């Protein structure tokens, strides 16, 4: 059983992906993550959500899970704080979507490739595609840095498309369900910036994720938790002191990996982790 005196926690920052990690991939439920969230609450740790979702979508999850605080949205596009029901950008890493979206559509026409993205869909199309509620779908459309797409062409044309994307300074990053078109940034860049702006001298960084868009964030952590998913076995994480691969998927795996990571931290002080 948990014992307050025994498990004295060093400074810890927890970064967590949402879809397929804290949230079930289909139902978006975090019920199985409740034991893990309780574990964090008992240690006064508020997890920082880092997701491909928009700031508005993440703030809904924050409210429902009781994890309010700054967040990392759109795959690391910005660090945002919600104040008085408004999103306020602390630091932006991505080029504004409105500055390049028409170039992306032009490229689709020029190459005659086939894909569909959020900007092609109505709210009702998006709901059919994702299973999101109306409120969540509207929040998902409030994008500022990225355009998630579904690729509907060949792998060869995708390779060609990626090369042409680079010419307009954009990249395609693979997530759980979508390819995210965005400028060159990632979750790792945002989490490293966050870490360097904390008051604590050397907090232990725990990161949890399940997909290719989490690789940079997991690699930048002291302890990485790779949550089992259809794409997690492709993730080759190098850099952390410890990489935990969960046996369970989704929020169940999230709780499993988080508790194991926190036990690891309690067994080794932050100083020994950093100086080893």
Minimum gap (Å) between residue 105 Cβ and Mg ion: 26
Which residues of 18-164 form beta strands (DSSP E)? 48-49, 71-73, 78-83, 86-92, 115-117, 146-151
Q: Which is nearer to Mg ion, 20 or 36 (CB)?
A: 20
Which residues lie closer than 8 Å to 10 by C-beta, 6 or more apart? 203, 204, 265, 269, 270
CA quadruple 122, 128, 134, 139: dihedral sign: negative
Q: Which is nearer to Mg ion, 213 or 270 (CB)?
A: 213
Q: Which is nearer to Mg ion, 21 or 59 (CB)?
A: 21
What's 120's DSSP letter? G
Helix (H, G, I), strand (E, B) or coil at 138: helix
Minimum gap (Å) between residue 101 Cβ and Mg ion: 24
Minimum gap (Å) between residue 146 Cβ and Mg ion: 14
Q: Which is nearer to Mg ion, 229 or 270 (CB)?
A: 229
Beginning with the edge strand found earlier in the chain, give each strand of the sheet holding 115-117 in spatial order.
115-117, 146-151, 179-182, 171-174
Minimum gap (Å) between residue 65 Cβ and Mg ion: 16
Q: Which is nearer to Mg ion, 94 or 175 (CB)?
A: 175
Please give the residue whose beta carbon sits closest to Mg ion in the complex: 20
Q: Which residues bind Mg ion (CB under 5 A)?
A: 17, 19-20, 176, 210-211
Minimum gap (Å) between residue 11 Cβ and Mg ion: 26
């Amino acid at each position: 059983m948990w014992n307050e005196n025994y498990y004295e926690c060093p400074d810890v920052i927890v970064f967590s992906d949402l879809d397929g990690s804290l949230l079930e991939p289909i139902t978006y439920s975090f019920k199985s993550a409740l034991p893990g969230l309780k574990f964090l609450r008992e240690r006064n740790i508020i997890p920082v959500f880092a997701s491909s979702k928009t700031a508005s979508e993440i703030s809904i999850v924050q409210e429902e899970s009781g994890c309010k605080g700054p967040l990392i949205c759109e795959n690391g596009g910005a660090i945002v704080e919600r104040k008085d029901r408004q999103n306020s950008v602390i630091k932006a890493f991505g080029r504004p979507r409105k500055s390049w979206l028409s170039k992306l559509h032009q490229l689709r026409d020029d190459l005659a490739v086939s894909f569909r993205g959020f900007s092609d869909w109505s709210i009702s199309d998006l709901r059919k595609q994702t299973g999101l509620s109306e409120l969540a779908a509207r929040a998902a459309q409030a994008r500022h840095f990225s355009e998630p797409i579904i690729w509907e062409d060949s792998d060869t044309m995708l390779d060609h498309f990626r090369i042409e994307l680079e010419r307009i300074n954009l990249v395609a990053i693979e997530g759980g369900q979508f390819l995210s078109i965005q400028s060159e940034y990632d979750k790792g860049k945002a989490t490293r910036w966050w870490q360097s702006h904390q008051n604590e001298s050397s907090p232990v960084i725990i990161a949890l994720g399940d997909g290719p868009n989490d690789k940079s964030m997991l690699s930048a952590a002291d302890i990485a938790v790779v949550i089992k998913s259809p794409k997690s076995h492709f993730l080759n994480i190098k850099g952390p002191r410890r990489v935990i691969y969960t046996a369970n998927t989704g929020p169940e795996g999230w709780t499993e990996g988080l508790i194991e990571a926190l036990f690891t931290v309690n067994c080794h002080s932050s100083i020994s982790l950093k100086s080893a």
